Amino acid sequence: MSSILVFSTEKISDPAIDLAGLLKQHYPPTVYTISVPCSSGIKPAWIMHAFEKGFDGVFIAADGTDCPFSETCTEKTAEIVARTHEIMEEKGMDKARLRMAAICSVCSQAFVKQVSGFSEYLEGSD
């Protein structure tokens, strides 16, 4: 089973992930989360470190337009993903191993769908 590291935001996507658990919505047990204040603060080095430590995929549960810290959060996070994709390409890695989607605080089903689909992709690409 593929392991996925999720960078989740404290005020927006963390509540959705918690809600998925409360509602007993099932997603792969090999999904691990790290909370960050804002998705635009994630560093490409952190993402690459996750791959170096053996994670098959990294998913950024971004704030989207609901970010309490910055109106340009989505654009900044997308730039981080693009920079990391360049690094991954230089290293010959499949760029699809890094994904990002905006997950709102009540979007537990969207989170489950995203990580389950991502896990299925990673399983098929082995």
Q: What percent of the chain has pLDDT over 90?
A: 66
Q: Note whether 51 and 6 are within 8 A (CB).
A: no
pTM of the model: 0.92
Where is average pLDDT lowest: 17-21, 68-72, 96-100?
Answer: 68-72
Q: Is the pLDDT of residue 126 over 80?
A: no
Distance CA 118, CA 36 (A): 21
CB 94 within 8 A of CB 125: yes
Q: What is the chain's mean pLDDT, rounded?
A: 90
pLDDT at 62 > cutoff 90: no
Report the 10 Å Cβ neighbour count for 83: 13
More confident residue, 1 or 79: 79
Q: Are 85 and 43 in contact (CB under 8 A)?
A: no
Per-residue pLDDT at 107 exceeds 90: no
Q: Give the per-residue pLDDT at 64.
A: 66
Q: Averaged over 43-70, what is the pLDDT?
A: 87
